[in-house]
Structure 1
Amino acid sequence: MARAVILVAMFCLYAATVIAEDPYVYYTWNVSYGTISPLGTPQQAILINNLFPGPEINCSSNNNIVVNVFNNLDEPLLFTWHGIQLRKNSWQDGTPGTMCPIQPGTNYTYKFQVKDQIGSYFYFPSLGLHRMAGGVGGLRIFSRLLIPVPYPDPEDEYWFIIGDWYTKSHKTLQGFLDSGRSIGRPGGVVINGQIAKGDTSDKPMYTMKAGKTYKLRICNTGSGEEPRVLVWNFHCFASRGLYAHSPFPIPPNNNNNNNVDDAVASFITLLGKRHLPPVVEFNKILVSLVKIKQYSTAVSLFAQMDFRGITPEYFTLCILINCFCHLGLMDSAFSVLAKIIKLGHQLDVVALNTLMKGFCINKKVREALEFHDRVRAM
């Protein structure tokens, strides 16, 4: 009898295991045309549930996603899920050749699983030039509770859906290409469908607290340009060529803010040029920031130079040493000194005196004297 009970219990457990499925997340999208003005000029765009960017897909790893798409456009439509592996359902990829388009006035239900993935992704319409007209949005995949991430939970997290934007409709742009013409360069860069006006009417897109950690989910949904993103002092800039836009207006409670704003914008402009200017032009901006004690901003801008592959001059590295010294990061300052030596620059009193002064600024007089003695013994 006991053996029979055990067998029944094992059978029930096996059945429950077989039947169990990962959770499902359901969405309904009504895709239509609408009028928006991302760059200040009213124009037709592709909206999802009357939104641009479209609604977020919010899920956890291994969830089954079900999206019922109603096509209210006058043309066929498909959506693709950028970065999603679709390991068990590649036929749901939403690209021409893998799926038949959703015809006008009809609907289709996508069903796919975000298997063993976490992170920030996005979706967009994949036919023609639809992507240039909107229809994009974020796809957020959290880790399952059983698999912890290797960092504490942030205070909050924010989307930055960044992309280039044209003032002409996608149909007009398609006509240009069909006739052999170029569509030209985009009119600007938008962040979450917005652009800063540059006057006092701009309002912060997000509000953050000093001393807290935030997760920024940044996706480039543009069609051709590569926006550069710079975060400094809770301000985020996206640039393209001579354009620099920020959805975060700088509060007017500091006399240096306008100078910092101008310096950062000028720096981004230099980085965006097709033919990079001499390093001395970057040095001038870094020096201007140091003069108003914006050391962390100068360090962030130097990181942008390094990311772009711009080789710094000796004087540039001395500026960086000075910034690290004022920030109390003496180990980082000496790392820059090692880089100076590695690049073959001839050391002089500028870098060495800056380091000794850095020890004094941070009230480490004993270390300053020891460093002085080591320098004299060289």
Structure 2
Amino acid sequence: MSTLFTPLSLRDLTLRNRLWVSPMCQYSAVEGVPQEWHHTHLAQFASGGAGLVIAEATAVSPEGRISPDDTGLWTDAQRDAWEPIVSAIRSRGAVAAVQLAHAGRKASTWSPFSGRRGTVVAADGGWNTVAPSAVAFDGFAEPAALEVAGIDRVVADFGSAARRAVAAGFEVLEIHAAHGYLIHQFLSPLSNLREDEYGGSLENRARLLLRVIDEVTDAAPGIPLLVRFSATDWADGGWDADQTAVVARWSAERGADFFDISSGGLVAHQRITTGPGYQVDLAARVRREAGVPVSAVGMIDDAAHAERILAAGEADAIMAGREWLRDPHYGLRAADELGADIDYWPKQYARARR
């Protein structure tokens, strides 16, 4: 039996396999509302055999968007637009999840389709950004340092978005604490220069994340909760795997169920050596040191590699992004390559099954 195609349980929810779709921004929303593109984009992965399909980084407030073209969950209209998309994913046998996010100092930026880089100014539909400290990401506008009242609003926004997500039918939630966005900005000493209860010590820098976990679990009781971490900043003096393991353990004690381990994104001077499975060691380390279940992600592009990672006990699930974009039926293909006997080939595609 293939480990990759062994079901995995999160609380009372059983996922049909361990080959999952990472959240991938599409920069195709209108006023935070997902469009027909999102429906087709996400539903195809469920038809293609994914166990879990995570919708892109979805802002908990207007100012939390990476770009003006990002999806959101701060209005009921957005909630209602997500509902048929979620239904389409579930009807095809996969579990629908959404990544709740706030971009912090990396918000109000041009989408990659615009051909422009940097901060979108107010005249072009942009807004003022916020962060733990008034330290800009390279090439972006300087953010305003959040006051405690502003932090309280961010926490409340995550709770409101979680309630809307559940009302839309999402069965799993993920908190985005990675890739240089707001929660990661609080975690890393490279971007968090605060001297109050949200800065300095590891406990203080983790305070926002832990408060968000409390808020989300209160707003969505019983719903499995993932946290995505960047396990290293790939920069001297920054956030690292040791700190990630400690905070992952604290997060599990507060109610998080599973940890999605990626890396980087906080600073422009990061130095990353990439290659197939280049982040697997980070996932394995967090799994071992924190004693929590994790997924691995990053250039895991073939079924045999994914199977080896799970068989070696380095991760409990595999996230993939670009490979699903190249082949939306990656799950079906992977099962075929591994000789896994699955019962969820769409009957309409049965003639292609070997």
Q: Which has more radius of gyration?
A: 1
Higher helix share: 2
Higher strand share: 1
TM-score normalized with structure 2 length = 0.29
Structure having greater relative contact order (Cα 8 Å, sep ≥ 6): 2
